[in-house]
Chains A and B, each alone.
Chain A
């Protein structure tokens, strides 16, 4: 334990349990003083702590979806009215993803929030009315199963869609859709990470597509440019970044709005929305112009030496000879001075080359390396032009380029990137700049995550067979292609496909029933009017959630699920580059009077009513009717197996591992590994290289060029008048998440006014605090909001935090003190649902007209 005055700042030593223990003493109003004495004498062991009536429990934060490490001080036998726990970030300074931010800090409010769902609800008014009656779990399950049965009988299982946010990707969210053999499990991605995910898949290959799979090595970074990203989540990265900053690291944020993280000595580069690609191409221009790139890296590990035909497609063996391989690409071997196949290990591919070749049909075409093409491509993006497009300054572009090169910096590859409809190009540009810097998989560079190999509790094989970690097996036919991937083949999930199928009838078939798992559709999906229309038209809408979100008002049934701090959890530490898992212990019971249930139990209850045999095959037993037996006998057994599998994989003693997880709340199985991809392991791209020129979309005919380019945002009508603006939304670290957005404190700590630049305000004669009317240029939606005049937003842009404003659930008007949640706007009122056809991404930004009220 670090005694008060001996813990160095920056090395907040192993406070671990201790600090927490001390706090435990405290919090709990009465009796805290006695308990505090316990900790003055030294480190209490768990038993001492328990005897004193306290415990220390690690858990993970689900106030956003990042799952940072938290530690709770728990009172074992709280008296009525006493709060049973308090939460801090896990104090271990070596924790790879340490909590907590302002959202995480709201967990204490979320737990027993007046908005907490406590009983199953059945709708008694029209959809949207928010009128419900409380019903029993029995009744809820019986009725839902009955309606699902009818729906499946009439339209097939494919007419049922499951959507969600993070939980749907976790084990808990899988039991029902997999047990039903449902093809349509369509998560939130298109409104979040799709542009980045698709771009990374193109450039780096499928395993490195998801946002956490590739990340800057924050702890060892020297300079990071964050285009669009705030790094407000996972906040654990900020702790790593703080260590880097203490060693002199610098950060810059390219963003239309000033992110809170920039308060911490960060440079803020305000820019026009949707122009990150232009800015970064300007940076690339300078890097190339001034020869600040890593030539060896480009030659050896990227596809820039690959030859391109005039149509932009790569020259392949199949182009040159009958029976040639279409997957064998051609390069020019500088040593042998001849064309050769890209797999030729002896060759030295030339970066610069241009020549004429004869194709197998006898035609002659000029071919050039992708590098040569890049030089021409970048010629269009002088710093001056890039600055003009992005409304930044050429000097800044020059300086950022030089800093990146001199400090061997890194450009963050984004998490949430679905903003303007042209975002995939921005992420391609991020990867291009990083490629030019040659800073992949090196300390302080853009690195690849090593996963710990935690086996899932339930999974589906390509042949449709569903298996559980406990040996359950369920033979089902392959579920078929997802509706959204039928429409948008590149997407990782595009929920708008469901909306289209319901509202426009514009799909192969229509979705009839929707199961929402922690999916705050109104805060998640653009174009509120369409979402409402869809919800009104569906045959069945079921919601499981922890808080009464706006979408609950539209559900036929609302089922209250338990929350992460009320159950144990074991999960991959998603955002750690080093292989690590986190294990959480239930911190507390659900709040008094809350009949909340684990999602997996809810799933089984529905499944067993529809298909008793399937439920049994997946492990359901009659005694699991008792939820505590289910937890003890089933969920605990799964965890046991998972820990055993991890122990086996990393050659550890399972008992030791279990103890370690209990003691620290996490285990890191090894360090971050550097120098692997693309050096020792080829990225699984078509070329086996880092494809700075993306072949896949070009070969598929999705794009004309494999390089990023600037195209104007096409998700919304561009503002053209003095009173028209792009409305950008972004995240507040104090409140922007589906859960924290409903916290009492977010009403005060996450501003729900719309921000306007002082220049614009002066021009329009709008004063700080004044109320104006916004109307969507595309959706026509009108709303009134308070304007905050602030230099924290770029000219021509309005900014609103997402999740914190414009909540419309009817319940709010009946809750004292929560009225401010209804103020402000939800940017999705104004956002179109236009989908980028090449990636399947949606966009959260919109354009609006501002009207000063008389």
Chain B
């Protein structure tokens, strides 16, 4: 009740909020599915990687306060020939652009699956089926997700984000997202049951991992040296963002899928429940990103 050190959250100032959360979410899906593509070489997967990455890039582009200045920025960069390779965001832009291109190639290769026969379709398909392409694609998928985590860890102003748990959380949850999308594909008849069964077991394991990671993140933050990290974690656990943590991340994102999976393992599968579980997981992945973003605050300078 007495004076707390003034805490300034980043969201009202830097505005890294829901739009960035959606961006991260699309990256998680695009990255996770690129890994899945190693195994599941389906049109739906390729298309989704491409579309998710494109949407993510669009979101982040229009999140720029000065997107209209981009031409000048590029021109100045090229003119000066200086690139800030030390910036995760710059690297990220490259990684995501590459991912978009790889996704485009994969989608191109699958065009005939949807009845379109573009030129050089066969050649492209041949290439994308190769281990090299799939390896690069998967690796770049992992990189995009890792990047979106490191982006936060390098934002030195926000101590809550300064933990290596974030890239790990991002990776795990990106896998959760990819599996959830695959399950949805199964429900929609876009992939076969084999994938789905494997997915369900995998999903349970991933959910367990994710739960551990989320709790570890909260624990680490609650006991951190940094007052801002502690205060942010408190917001997540019992403050104004608790609904997001308990309802969104834990409830929707973990409890519901785990419960449904347990039910289905016991009583048999149901497409309806699978769909609910998958959507719920995907929402959880989004909420996880949003909660971490919104809880970010600067270290109080007084106190």
Contact = CB atoms under 8 A, between A and B. Distances in A.
Direct contact of A and B (CB under 8 A): yes
A768 interface: yes
A791 B3 contact: yes
Nearest to B4: A768
B240 to A, nearest CB: 13
A168 interface: no
A740 interface: no
Contacts of B3: 758, 768, 789-791
Contacts of A762: 1
B1 A767 contact: yes
Contacts, number: 15
Interface in B138-171: none
B2 interface: yes
B44 to A, nearest CB: 51
B2 A791 contact: yes
A758 B1 CA distance: 7
Contacts of A758: 1-3
Interface band, chain B: under 10
Interface string A736-771: 000000000000000000000010011000011000
A768 B5 CA distance: 13
Interface in B1-40: 1-3
Interface residues of A, number: 8
Interface in A767-784: 767-768
Contacts of B1: 758, 761-762, 767-768, 789
Nearest to B3: A790
A767 B2 CA distance: 8
A433 to B, nearest CB: 34
A761 B1 CA distance: 8
Nearest to A792: B3
Interface in A333-359: none
Contacts of B2: 758, 768, 789, 791
A791 B3 CA distance: 8
Interface string A13-27: 000000000000000
Contacts of A791: 2-3
A762 B3 CA distance: 12
A791 to B, nearest CB: 7
A761 B2 CA distance: 9
Interface string A569-589: 000000000000000000000
A790 B3 CA distance: 6
Contacts of A789: 1-3
B231 to A, nearest CB: 15
Interface in B231-257: none
Nearest to A761: B1
Nearest to A789: B1
A797 to B, nearest CB: 16
A467 to B, nearest CB: 59
Interface in A666-680: none
A758 B4 CA distance: 12
A408 to B, nearest CB: 36
A322 B1 CA distance: 73
Interface string A788-823: 011100000000000000000000000000000000
Contacts of A761: 1
A789 B1 CA distance: 7
Interface string A87-100: 00000000000000
A768 B1 CA distance: 6
A17 to B, nearest CB: 37
A789 B3 CA distance: 7
Contacts of A768: 1-3
A768 B282 CA distance: 38
A790 B2 CA distance: 6
Interface string A214-240: 000000000000000000000000000
A758 B3 CA distance: 8
Contacts of A767: 1
Nearest to A788: B3
Nearest to A766: B1
Interface in A706-760: 758
Nearest to B2: A758
B275 to A, nearest CB: 44
B6 to A, nearest CB: 11
A762 B2 CA distance: 9
B5 to A, nearest CB: 13
A751 to B, nearest CB: 13
A779 B2 CA distance: 31
A791 B4 CA distance: 11
B232 to A, nearest CB: 19
Interface in B248-302: none
A774 to B, nearest CB: 19
A791 B303 CA distance: 14
A519 B3 CA distance: 37
A767 B4 CA distance: 12
A592 B1 CA distance: 49
B184 to A, nearest CB: 45
Report, nearest first, the 9 A-B pairs whose CB atoms are least far apart.
A758-B2, A762-B1, A761-B1, A767-B1, A789-B1, A790-B3, A758-B1, A789-B2, A768-B1
13 contacts: A758-B1, A758-B2, A758-B3, A761-B1, A762-B1, A767-B1, A768-B1, A768-B3, A789-B1, A789-B2, A789-B3, A791-B2, A791-B3
Given A761-B1, A789-B2, 11 more contacts: A758-B1, A758-B2, A758-B3, A762-B1, A767-B1, A768-B2, A768-B3, A789-B1, A790-B3, A791-B2, A791-B3
